[in-house]
Structure 1
């Protein structure tokens, strides 16, 4: 009888607001065609190490697979890997996802990681687990696309796997994560908001973006029958009443979006998504009518910078005037634009930051309902970019606040240091001075108190109105420094920060 490989999949803890672990559900669907799998979700099982060890004690697993975004997920991934290595030293440990794709050599510098899967993981993981079940010889391992591994102590990077366009017959095994009610959250969209990812990848190649580094400009839209099947299941079987789309770029080419929007218009589930200013501006009036019928409530738009030169440098492909125009367009169509900005770039750091503050004020003047998300600009190391983009253009060396070259971590353990977790989360950078760090904090405090996010379902309306009134004089006169009264009030009201908690 042929052995059916059994894989233990782990989602490291990252949030207190659990969402369906879509990446692991896709991996499980692929693995279960040829074997079996079990999922441990650290966002549900808060004692992740104990939950993983308990699962491993119940039955034999041929391998442990851990999906890692980076940032706060690295530490729990390390803890699980070390625990499994100690208890089950012969069990192969495989890391996949953004972190091992962008930092492959760093990942395999750790003795508790045996294999790193780069890019899309479904086919690579199936082939790897199958090869390991047959003894895992070097010849078999060398044939697996997208795999990095060690041979005689040296790290080997197999060629990248060709981008796969997706399988229309794939059905996600939601039953593997237990009670779906744990994953359906109350949000500004609805009482039972689910998450879904219809497409993967993005055809744009922004130099700062992990999606571009992982997929190299490739993208894949779902067959409409699959989208209808999955959204209908979420609505009619699981009771979801709204959707957060985790597509890397939901609005791509208009002609491809129309069939999807027609399905969503029939289902009438309020939704949120990532979008681009240029794509929304290019939609025809008839397509906007479909957008309205489908109940799009908010679109997250990467504005990034008010500087056309900087947008060109990072290959964003949009212009500042398009950001302003889409703010007005969204207002006309009843969609809230959620603009993200990257503050404090390594060059002209203070001047660019102050320009961004003024640009944000202009957006709020055009459309006061615009939501603003601010991040620190933390570019990817050159070696983390997709192989198509490495060394294609000269870039200024990254220098810290003392003028010394920034040296990135060389092991996963180093990435768990607070400064590097903050870097990965776009919360801080080595070139920020204490003065500018404080300036940014104060501006964001005044801004979010003056315009509390509509996504905040916890703070009462009277409290948000009061905070807005308190902050109005500071915002009107640009008196951002040391907003002590707002900081005190926030201890009691605790306004929501959408860049941390999400929709």
Structure 2
């Protein structure tokens, strides 16, 4: 009798143990794999000595494959370290990378001796078929949609897998994490905040966005009964008192949102989510009542730019006036809007940046409680976009400070270099000079000291008030240059950075 396949699923370390949240991709993969075999999850955010822990698992258990979720940025160096250790320890064990990095940069992912297979896009069905194929129980490799693999020295890209609204399990296998309660965290939402994903994908096609590149404008909202079942378990069985939604875009079409809002209104768990300005601005007053009853505390909104032309070029689908409107709408309804902006684009770099600074000041006048997150604009290369979106917009060639074309990395090791980790994290770009980089950093320092985030649960109130008072004169007259006194004070207070630390 053939033994059912066993898969080791790994989440490389990317966060502190305090900041660890449910490894939701691996839980969904495990639920799919366990219908055809067995799986084990090893979360590097909890198991800090990840390499020794992985090698111990390989010594004491038999696995047919290792699957690793690789998000990009700081996840890549950790994934490389783990993959190299596995390859050295068990040379014949297949190593599979999935998630954003191998989906967007497939050739680069496979251009390494420690990666055998890349799963593109949604991974559940592809990974199940691949693991079964590796054990002689599934289809041939060439027949597995969504898979890229090596045939000798040649990289083979199978056709993409169609987006699936899926057949999710009644409940994710949280028991595979040991005690799931260790993933509940104290945040500004509550004492035991839990991470959850209800909807998948986003129907928009923003040219800079990994979600658009991975799902190509497809999206799937959950059935209300499933959402109530999942959140009911998290609340009543695990003791969660608040929810951070990892949905790629929680507020979709209003009619489809109403049943979900009704569930949230019954449960009354304070929550945080991703949203769009146009969706919230157009939400009816009746449904805003549901939002208030559901206790939505904060919505992360991609404002991106105050320049309407730039928003059209990046296919955002929103307008600057909607950003101002949603700031006021959220103020009226007691929701904190957390706006993200992308500064220093490749063209009109300085002008766009200064225009964004002034627009942020305008937003603060409309709604002083709004929160601001600033990133460097780092567009995706054309070949990283979803196949449906390639060639659909005319992109200006990317040029570095020396006038040379920007050449993107061709291997995981190159993507693991600091400058490319920063690029992937929207923290730096090849066309950004030191003077403007310092100008952006100075503005962010003054802004975050003048308006410390409500998400900061560690810094004492008196310290945040003191920093705010110290920054007030600089912010009032727009004098951001060299805020040495704020940087010195922040060494002791160490205000939270939401764009780096999350909730």
Tell me whether the two structures share a fold, i.e. TM-score over 0.5.
Answer: yes
Give the conservation status (yes or no) of the 8 Å contact 1:168–1:222: no
Deviations 1:235-287 (A, max 9, x none): 01111000000000000000111101111111110000000000001111110
After the TM superposition, list the runs of 4 or more consecutive aligned residues in structure 1 that deviate by more than 6 angstroms.
Answer: none
Give the conservation status (yes or no) of the 8 Å contact 1:199–1:222: yes
SS, match of residue 18 in structure 1: coil
TM-score by length of 2: 0.99
Report matched runs for 1:67-466 at 5 Å.
67-134=69-136, 140-466=140-466
- The answer on whether the counterparts of 2:31 and 2:169 sit within 8 Å (CA) in structure 1 is no
Paired residue secondary structure (2:121): coil
Contact 2:342 2:377 in 1 (8 A): yes
Deviations 1:442-475 (A, max 9, x none): 0000000000000000011111000000000000
Residue in 2 aligned with 1:492? 492
Q: Deviations over 1:354-400 (max 9, x none)?
A: 00000000000000000000000000011100001112222111011
- Secondary structure (helix, strand or coil) at the match of 2:299 reads strand
Taking the aligned partners of 2:354 and 2:481, their CA distance within structure 1 comes to: 13
Question: SS at 2:340's partner residue?
Answer: strand
Match of residue 30 from structure 2: 28
Q: What SS class does the counterpart of residue 74 from structure 2 fall into?
A: helix
Shift of 1:170: 4.2
Do the aligned residues in 2 keep the contact of 1:423 with 1:429 (CA within 8 Å)? Answer: yes
Residues 168 and 27 of structure 1: CA distance in aligned 2, closer, same or farther (over 3 Å): closer
Return the alpha-carbon distance in structure 2 between the equivalents of residues 284 and 254 of structure 1. Answer: 8
- Structure-2 separation of matches of 1:169 and 1:496: 36
Aligned length: 501
More divergent stretch after superposition (288-297 vs 75-84): 75-84
Q: In structure 2, the residue corresponding to 1:340 is in which secondary structure?
A: strand
Per the normalisation by structure 1, the TM-score is 0.99
**RMSD, matched Cα:** 0.9
Is the CA contact 1:213–1:386 (under 8 Å) kept in the aligned structure 2? yes
How far apart are residue 168 of structure 1 and its match? 4.4
1:52 Cα shift?
A: 0.9
Q: Secondary structure at the match of 1:318?
A: coil
Shift of residue 71 of structure 1?
A: 0.4
Matched, 1:63 2:62: no
1:166: how far off?
2.4
Contact 1:168 1:223 in 2 (8 A): no
The unaligned stretches of length 5 or more in structure 2 are: none
> What SS is found at the alignment partner of 1:269?
coil
Shift of 1:135: 7.6
Q: In 1, distance between residues paired with 2:33 and 2:345?
A: 42
